[in-house]
Every structure is written in structure tokens, then in C-alpha cells.
Amino acid sequence: MTNNIKITGFAPTYINNYVNKQLSDFGLISSGPTLPNQAGFNPMVPAQYPTNIEDLYNDTIQIQQVDSPILIVYDRMMRFRPSSFYRRKREQLIYFVYSSDIEKLINTIRVISDALDREDSAAQDINAYTASQATTSNSANIFFHNVRVYQADESRDVAELASARTLFVNKIIVEYDYHTNDTITISGTSYTNIYT
């Protein structure tokens, strides 16, 4: 039997998908495919993406055919577990939100904060959205307990550095607790998490 990577769970995927839905509902991004070579692609890029932010932003303008799109670069940080129970995890996402339109940047931060800074209510909404979107590539094997949002202390410094450029930037931290399910079913096949 081969192990299936889909059963290990990657919490940022589920949160990013939920945030994309919220941003789309408020008209801050266009909804559509998540592939970079198609219009309407996901504006979230992992921090490990090997490129210059301004080049990536300019490429986003060309792909989306809009004047001032939103670009969100995120990084995941694992934190100490909230309890000794190893299945329950705590992590943080750091979002660097870029735009050449300061109003769109502020509105994006507002939507992310309002959608996620609601503790267990936000977790329930993410769980419901994830379950409704479950497919073979998105198995819904993570259950969120709570979510909260902080503004990073360094945002002003980051913004001052960015002010010399043409892009505005803001930085927020999303902290969440979750656990992974032991057994999931993908296309009628049941898999058991190998780490249980």
C-alpha cells in the first residue's frame, strides 16, 4: 500500500480557499480558476515562491488584466500545541498583502480580519465551506477549532519600506487551532492517516 499525501492535511490550503471566497464575494478579487496561467487565478502565493514581489505583482496585472490587483504572499509557522494531545495543532499564517491601490489594500485587510477574527464561529464557517468544496484534491480532512487575527507590529516598518516603491503592503497574522481526521474517503477509497 502506498501512502497518500492528501491524508496528512495542510491547513493553509483550507484557510486560503475560504479567504479567497470571502474576497471574491466582496468583489476584491475575481473568482475563477486557481492556475496562474488562467484569468482569475488565486492571488495567494507561498513565501517560498522564487521571485521578486514587484515582478510577481506586475505579472499578476498582466494575467488578470486589472490595474491594481491584490497579491497575498503567505508563510506558515508551526507553533507549540495548545495541549499535550498530539493530534491537535496550532499554527500561524502570515499574510503580506500587496496592492498599488491603498483603498483596496485596506478593504482586503478588513475582509480577512472580519471573516477570520471570530474564534470558533470562523472555524465553523471554514469547516462548513471546506466540507462543501471537498474533492479528490481537497479532502476536507482537517477540523478547525478556532481562528484569530493579529496585526503584526512590524507592519508600519514594512509599509515605510514599501512606500519608496509603487506598492503598498500590510502584514497580518492568522492563528488557528485544528486537528486532522484519522480516516478520510477520497473517490470511494478510505485511507487511514499513517501517523496515528
What's the confidence (pLDDT) of residue 194?
45
Q: Is 155 within 8 Å of 148 (Cβ atoms)?
A: no
Residue 48 has pLDDT above 70, yes or no: yes
Q: For the chain, give every domain's residue range.
A: 5-192
pTM above 0.85, yes or no: no
What's the confidence (pLDDT) of residue 166?
61
Instruction: Say which residue, 23 or 67, is predicted with more confidence.
Output: 23
What's the confidence (pLDDT) of residue 57?
72
What's the confidence (pLDDT) of residue 127?
92
Cα→Cα distances 62→52, 56, 57, Å: 16, 10, 9
Lowest mean pLDDT among 13-22, 77-86, 126-135: 77-86
pLDDT one-digit tens code per residue, 131-173:
888 765 556 678 999 999 998 765 554 544 444 456 788 899 9
Q: 70, 82, 77: which is closest to 112 by C-alpha?
A: 70
Percent of the chain with pLDDT over 90: 30
Q: Which residues lie across from 54 on neighbouring strands?
A: none
Lowest mean pLDDT among 33-47, 53-67, 75-89: 33-47
Say whether 6 sits in a helix, a strand or coil. Answer: helix
Instruction: Say which residue, 6 or 13, is predicted with more confidence.
Output: 13
Q: Is 194 within 8 Å of 162 (Cβ atoms)?
A: no
Q: Which positions ≥6 away from 116 have C-beta within 8 Å?
A: 15, 19, 122, 147, 148, 149, 174
H/E element, 96: strand 88-99
- Main-chain phi, psi angles of 8, to 5 degrees: -80, -25
